[in-house]
Chain A
Amino acid sequence: MAVLVDNDTKLCISGITGREGTFHSLNNRSYGTQVVSGVTPGKGGQDVEGIPVFDTFHAAVAETGANTAMIFVPPRFAADSILEAEDAGIELIVAITEGIPAHDELKVYNHLKRNPNVRLVGPNCPGILSPGKANVGIIPASFFSPGNVGVVSRSGTLTYQIGNELAQAGFGNSSIVGIGGDPVPGSSFIDIIELFEADPETELIVLSGEIGGDAEEQAADYIADHVTKPVVAYIAGFTAPPGKTMGHAGAIVSGSKGTAAAKAEALEAKGVRVGRTPTEVAEIAVETLRG
């Protein structure tokens, strides 16, 4: 078991013929992911190292049975590509693209919410890795092995840091889900924690958050009411000054709202242990798992 991506994933990549798109599509395939097709308007009929390319998502779904989409196109085309994937009946859309305008994300989010059969992860995320099963995105899979820790994070490299420290202590992962650093993520911490709670393979959940918004505070309430598995959290950005965007479009303290301190407090108030450093997060996780 794992969440979201596994041996049944049939991946179609929007933007497969671009340089980065090709590189990561092939990477995902060599990891063992079933990469069944790609979409680039105007390049239908071509192939990328044997992966057939279609002009539309609709054709790709009809011809190859794709159930998962990865979005790799530039920001100005990304919202449209997500909407096309949904319209074609794709169930899981993973948007890697960084830099999509926030108002486009609002429209996409509110439209997709009306379809109970579709889930968006991202945008501006590293994707999803279920070690030993499938890799959809840009997570460097070689650092991770199969195991029982589920990780959900707003940041890519920070996830690798925490995952690597867990790996050094001998613990692997059920799945690693990057929900992305934008103001309107398609999936929230809560959406992914709900999946980990239901996943029999996952024994502990790591939540890696950062400044901006109130997704961590909402997750704290949800965990208290609905989660039986232990959760260990990390929050980045204690030293971030208010009003400055710290790399991720969503990582901004607005006035007194969205601070790291408030998030850590909210989580601790609900009984979630918060590590002060990525190393401490791994230590707490290891201690909890060894019981």
Chain B
Amino acid sequence: MDLLEYQGKKLFAKHGVPVPEGRPATTVDQAVSAADELGYPVVVKAQVLIGGRGKAGGIKVAKDQAEAREYAEAILGMDIKGHTVNELYMERASEIDEEYYAAFVFDRSAKKPMAMFSKMGGMDVEAIAETDPEAMRMLHVDPLIGFQDFHGRRLAFEAGIAADVIRPVGALLAKLYETFVAEDAMLVEVNPLLITKSREVVALDAKVTLDGNALYRHPEHADLGDVGAADPQEKMAKERGLTYVKLDGDIGILGNGAGLVMSTLDVVAQAGGQPANFLDAGGGSKAEAITSAVEVILSDPKVKAVLFNIFGGIARCDEVAKGLIEAFAQIEPTVPFVVRLDGTNDKEGRALLAEANLPNVHTETTMLGAAKRVVELASETSGAQA
């Protein structure tokens, strides 16, 4: 789960990582009154989950109220690389002397947290690596011991920062690590980490990704993320407890098990089709869950055909068939369905479908056959509409 800048900064502040004072705003009036409270000059920042906001015109410094209003009006609703700006963050302007980079990442390869630090902040990690690979200093932290003072010293000395900020940078890194662990983050990144004209150390930006599996111990995180930008189907699926990811195509997909569903998307793409979604109905796929999932898939108006690819293990094919039959009774779909049932209780499932004789439901016995069939049906549907 990716957080907006101001949400990340709130977590930073909670753990003592210094951040400039600021206020979020969703309307122009809110933005202007926040700016008045903070005092001028003030920075008007678009809150979107995409990099390059500054270059896209999503970050402006306002010297007075008139400018704050002008920029807030311009930036709210702006499109930045496909992301609509629904929220602003109004922040007291900082005087920049130097820009560093600091991050803790979840290194899956080493299976340890990794600290990253550079004095070449302000540009992205790839650019730093390209300009001067030696400039990015990295080390692993033993998660059983945590971030130690020597880690901070080593990063600071190796990066070659000025002597006067070595201690405060080390202190900030320790607090950033605390945020990373205590908030169950997969990533905390500060770019730039600012050294002000008065030589104070401040996190000027915040990029935080939280672990969705740890939400149970952070109920306060439940509403974070760019809620306004959520896709309607993804929102609907989340409310129903379904694992759904929206894609660009027109073939709805339902399967059981993450790997099999990913594989189904690939096989459909190889057959010349474009999947509309990823939907893992899960191991326990009961009839009601299947009905509910079909509703989510069909609520996407782009969907022209639907593929069910089930290999029953814990999931039982007869339950899946019952769910599909119930979905037809409730929502009377108009698009064709291709159903492939294999595994636990497959014969019972196929028998139920044969008996129900649902309109425009085609059964296939293999995964490849089913993928080809659904691609044909989807293109016929497009032809008929065109």
- Whether A200 sits at the interface, judged by CB under 8 Å, is no
Q: Which of B212, B214, B280 has the most chain A CB within a 10 Å cutoff?
A: B214
With A101-B211, A247-B280 already in contact, the answer to whether A157 and B109 are too (CB < 8 A) is: no
Binds B, one of A56-64, A236-244, A265-273: A236-244
Residues of A within 8 A of B312 (CB): 140
Q: Name the interface residues of B246-268: CB closer than 8 Å to any CB of A.
A: 247, 255-263, 265-268
Query: Bound complex: CA of A158 vs CA of B367, how far in Å?
Result: 11
- Whether B150 sits at the interface, judged by CB under 8 Å, is no
- Whether B144 sits at the interface, judged by CB under 8 Å, is yes
- Whether A290 sits at the interface, judged by CB under 8 Å, is no
Interface membership of chain B positions 98-126, coded 1 if the CB is closer than 8 angstroms to chain A and 0 otherwise: 00000000101101110000000000000
Residues of B within 8 A of A76 (CB): 216-217
With A140-B343, A247-B258 already in contact, the answer to whether A158 and B108 are too (CB < 8 A) is: no
**Nearest CB in chain A: distance from B281 CB, A:** 10
Query: Bound complex: CA of A249 vs CA of B243, how far in Å?
Result: 11
Q: Is the CB of B258 within 8 A of A248?
A: yes
Query: Bound complex: CA of A110 vs CA of B109, how far in Å?
Result: 13
Binds B, one of A33-41, A148-156, A219-227: A148-156
Q: Is the CB of B262 within 8 A of A156?
A: no
Residues of A within 8 A of B283 (CB): 138, 156
Q: Is the CB of B270 within 8 A of A251?
A: no
**Nearest CB in chain B: distance from A248 CB, A:** 4
Residues of A within 8 A of B106 (CB): 102, 106, 183
With A101-B211, A126-B313 already in contact, the answer to whether A161 and B108 are too (CB < 8 A) is: no
Q: Name the interface residues of A88-127: CB closer than 8 Å to any CB of B.
A: 99-103, 106-107, 109-111, 126
Q: Is the CB of A154 within 8 A of B108?
A: no
Query: Bound complex: CA of A245 vs CA of B2, how far in Å?
Result: 12
A107, A184, A239, A279: the one within 8 Å of B275 (CB): A239
Q: Which of B144, B245, B259, B261 has the most chain A CB within a 10 Å cutoff?
A: B259
Q: Is the CB of A214 within 8 A of B247?
A: no
With A140-B314, A218-B109, A241-B247 already in contact, the answer to whether A249 and B213 are too (CB < 8 A) is: yes
Query: Bound complex: CA of A277 vs CA of B259, how far in Å?
Result: 12
Q: Is the CB of B112 within 8 A of A110?
A: yes
Q: Is the CB of B184 within 8 A of A103?
A: yes
B111, B144, B311: the one within 8 Å of A184 (CB): B111
Q: Is the CB of B212 within 8 A of A245?
A: yes
Q: Is the CB of B266 within 8 A of A238?
A: yes
- Whether B149 sits at the interface, judged by CB under 8 Å, is no
**Nearest CB in chain B: distance from A163 CB, A:** 10
With A110-B144, A236-B259, A247-B261 already in contact, the answer to whether A102 and B211 are too (CB < 8 A) is: yes
- Whether B308 sits at the interface, judged by CB under 8 Å, is no
- Whether B342 sits at the interface, judged by CB under 8 Å, is yes
Residues of B within 8 A of A241 (CB): 245, 247
How many chain B residues touch the partner (CB < 8 A)? 51
Q: Is the CB of A155 within 8 A of B313?
A: no
Q: Is the CB of A239 within 8 A of B343?
A: no
Query: Bound complex: CA of A238 vs CA of B263, how far in Å?
Result: 8
Q: Is the CB of A246 within 8 A of B278?
A: yes
With A100-B213, A208-B259, A239-B247 already in contact, the answer to whether A106 and B111 are too (CB < 8 A) is: yes
- Whether A278 sits at the interface, judged by CB under 8 Å, is yes
Query: Bound complex: CA of A243 vs CA of B211, how far in Å?
Result: 13
B2, B108, B269, B313: the one within 8 Å of A239 (CB): B269
Query: Bound complex: CA of A156 vs CA of B280, how far in Å?
Result: 12
With A103-B184, A181-B258, A279-B368 already in contact, the answer to whether A160 and B311 are too (CB < 8 A) is: yes
- Whether A193 sits at the interface, judged by CB under 8 Å, is no
Q: Is the CB of A154 within 8 A of B259?
A: yes
Q: Name the interface residues of B268-295: CB closer than 8 Å to any CB of A.
A: 268-270, 275, 278, 280, 283
Q: Which of A111, A183, A241, A247 has the most chain B CB within a 10 Å cutoff?
A: A247
Residues of B within 8 A of A203 (CB): none
Query: Bound complex: CA of A139 vs CA of B260, how far in Å?
Result: 14
- Whether B181 sits at the interface, judged by CB under 8 Å, is yes
Q: Is the CB of A277 within 8 A of B263?
A: yes
**Nearest CB in chain B: distance from A97 CB, A:** 10
Residues in A lying within 8 Å of B, measured CB to CB? 75-76, 99-103, 106-107, 109-111, 126, 138-140, 143, 153-161, 164, 181, 183-184, 208, 210-214, 218, 234, 236-241, 243-251, 260, 276-279
Q: What are 14 inter-chain pairs, A to B, with CB distance below 8 A? A: A76-B216, A102-B211, A106-B112, A110-B142, A111-B144, A140-B313, A155-B258, A157-B257, A158-B263, A160-B260, A240-B278, A247-B259, A250-B108, A251-B259
Beyond A238-B269, A247-B261, list 11 extra A-B contacts (CB 8 Å). A101-B213, A110-B142, A126-B313, A140-B314, A183-B108, A210-B258, A210-B262, A238-B266, A246-B258, A247-B262, A251-B258
